[in-house]
Amino acid sequence: MAHLTKNYPIKARDYLRAGEVSMQVQGLMKNIGFAPEMIRRVSICAYEAEMNVVMHGGDGQMTVEINTDEIILEVKDGGPGIEDISLALQEGYSTASEEAREMGFGAGMGLPNIQKNSDSLEIVSEKGKGTEVKIGFRA
């Protein structure tokens, strides 16, 4: 498979369209012919990362890069940043707004689910400067 890169914009607080980007990533992988287990893992991570941008970030973007030996999801947002990344990686820790919680989001499982379902996870974030998340999968 040749190298393929696709970009998807994500709007902050657009709960109506939340999940559409991860569905597009899932469809792309199905069309290429990836195994169901790989599609499941990537879809979970794409969804969790997308929801983090919707709930916490300023507007952002997900870039999907597919190579012969790896898949990379890169998510960047212009949000408030993550103050304590190690704390944010703990199950149940959440800084979700009341609005997000009322809709059933913000259980504090986003980053832990990404960590469990990916082969690599890098988070670069600074308070007031947004967040960049790079999620890797060995194909």
- Segment 30-51, tens digit of pLDDT: 999 999 999 999 999 999 999 9
- Segment 106-123, tens digit of pLDDT: 888 999 999 999 999 999
Q: Which of 47, 4, 40 is nearest to 137 (CA)?
A: 40
Distances (CA, A) of 13 to 35, 61, 105, 123, 135: 32, 14, 12, 21, 22
pTM (predicted TM-score): 0.94
Domains of the chain in sequence order: 3-138 (3.30.565.10)
